[in-house]
């Protein structure tokens, strides 16, 4: 069968760099760090005392107080992003077939704040099992997908994807596949995460996964730098409208980019460590290129997973060097996590959005906080360090990897009718 073409017609973002998609992009291009001291709870006894929190976000600016109490922060983040993307797309109209519009949403963790608050309240009580009747719908990962569909009346395919930090990239890939197979006309797709709390920071500290550069949070996220010491936790979310090309053209929609291809794989190696040679990452990228009908020579830019972890950055750049070979010096590589921190399950969508903006604006955001080269990181690639690079970007590849060995790669390209 002939696959339908899929395009991106709406964007929404809520990130540590800005509370809208345009603000997010401005922060990236200007090399802004979203990191700072944690303000949500007392961090005096924590190994890590900083994160990339949202700035000036008040949910009551979007919902009434009664509605806010019904949802975990990760759901509120998701709804805000989705609202921006739907409005940006102009999708809603009297002629829209709501049965053909779906929602695929992601979260790597779900309602962690709700779980922690409810268990803490129980543990401090007399043992009587008093739990909120809203606890379950607040904590489960599929609630944003359901709530977004309720909010707009979208009756197409509706579910959540969970694959740790690859979750929202997998959501985008599923939406891409459903549309090109003719099973829907459009999707609201993306992901959200809200894990900057006592349990989230404490648990990742226990894994020795987080940077402990408490003396200088703004420079703590250092992808590819010799002195990187772990990732910086972020929060927020991102939403996109994926749409069948003919459906978008028929309604005169603006088109940001085309989804060219996607690939997925498993490391089959370790519960949290990447394959040391990046074999799973390599397989995902090769699959995406085959799916797009492209070769490595067609790729201009790679937005890496680039977490700033000692093992992860080496594994990914090793895979990139093997993949691109002689073309390595011609592909521009960055990690926007140097600015946003790691949004966990929402990382894939916000980094895919950064890739789309790079294509649209012909500017590659920098990897900030690079001070010292690490010779274990593949040196054949062209890294964009510390300052944005104006250059023609026709195609961009976006990588996202998750604990458990989940790998997801998306390729976007300039739309040409």
Element (H, E) at 158: strand 158-161
Catalytic-labelled residue, pool 247, 275, 342, 370: 342
Interacting residues of 116 by C-beta distance below 8 A, sequence separation 6+: 197, 198, 199
Check if the beta carbon of residue 185 is closer than 8 Å to that of residue 249.
no
CA 361 from centroid of its chain's CA atoms? 20
Cα–Cα nearest to 83, from 150, 176, 23, 151: 151
Instruction: For residue 52, indicate whether it is catalytic.
Output: no
Catalytic-labelled residue, pool 52, 81, 165, 247: 165
Cα–Cα nearest to 232, from 131, 139, 309, 135: 309
The phi and psi torsions of 179 (rounded to 5 degrees) equal -70, -45
Check if the beta carbon of residue 223 is closer than 8 Å to that of residue 308.
yes
Instruction: For residue 305, indicate whether it is catalytic.
Output: yes
Residue 203 burial class via C-beta count within 10 angstroms: exposed 0-12, middle 13-18, buried 19 and up: middle
Catalytic-labelled residue, pool 275, 301, 305, 370: 305
- DSSP, residue by residue, 358-390: HHHHTEEPPB----SB-TTS-SSSEE-BSS-EE
Instruction: For residue 327, indicate whether it is catalytic.
Output: no
Cα separations (Å) of 180 from 6, 263, 401? 6, 15, 24
Residues marked active site are found at 165, 305, 342
């Amino acid at each position: 069968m002939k696959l339908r073409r899929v395009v991106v017609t709406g964007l929404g973002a809520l990130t540590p760099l800005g509370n809208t998609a345009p603000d997010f992009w401005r922060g990236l291009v200007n090399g802004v760090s979203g990191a700072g001291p944690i303000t949500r709870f007392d961090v005096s006894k924590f190994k890590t005392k900083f994160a990339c929190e949202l700035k000036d976000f008040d949910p009551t600016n979007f919902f009434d107080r009664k509605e806010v109490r019904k949802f975990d922060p990760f759901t509120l983040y998701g709804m805000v992003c989705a609202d921006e993307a739907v409005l940006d797309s102009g999708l809603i109209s009297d002629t829209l077939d709501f049965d053909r519009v779906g929602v695929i949403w992601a979260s790597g963790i779900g309602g962690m704040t709700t779980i922690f608050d409810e268990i803490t309240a129980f543990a401090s009580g007399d043992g009587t099992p008093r739990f909120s009747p809203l606890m379950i719908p607040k904590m489960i990962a599929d609630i944003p997908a359901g709530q977004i569909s309720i909010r707009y009346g979208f009756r197409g395919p509706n579910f959540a994807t969970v694959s740790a930090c690859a979750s929202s990239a997998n959501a985008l890939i599923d939406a891409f596949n459903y549309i090109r197979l003719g099973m829907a006309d459009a999707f609201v797709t993306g992901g959200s995460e809200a894990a900057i709390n006592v349990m989230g920071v404490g648990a990742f500290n226990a894994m020795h996964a987080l940077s402990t550069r408490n003396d200088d949070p703004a420079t703590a996220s250092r992808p590819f730098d010799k002195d990187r010491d772990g990732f910086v936790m972020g929060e927020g979310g991102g939403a996109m409208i994926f749409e069948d090309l003919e459906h978008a053209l028929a309604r005169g929609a603006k088109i940001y980019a085309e989804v060219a291809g996607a690939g997925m794989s498993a490391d089959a190696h370790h519960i949290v460590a990447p394959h040391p040679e990046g074999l799973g990452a390599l397989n995902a990228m090769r699959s995406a290129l085959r799916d797009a009908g492209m070769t490595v020579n067609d790729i201009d830019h790679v937005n890496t997973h680039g977490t700033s972890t000692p093992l992860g950055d080496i594994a990914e750049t090793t895979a990139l060097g093997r993949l691109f070979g002689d073309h390595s010096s011609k592909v521009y590589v960055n990690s926007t996590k140097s600015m946003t921190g790691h949004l966990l399950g929402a990382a894939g969508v916000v980094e895919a959005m950064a890739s789309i903006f790079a294509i649209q604006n012909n500017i590659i955001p920098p990897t900030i906080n690079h001070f010292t080269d690490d010779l274990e990181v593949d040196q054949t690639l062209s890294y964009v360090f510390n300052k944005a690079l104006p250059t023609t970007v026709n195609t961009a590849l976006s990588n996202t990897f998750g604990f458990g060995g989940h790998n997801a790669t998306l390729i976007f390209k300039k739309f040409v009718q």
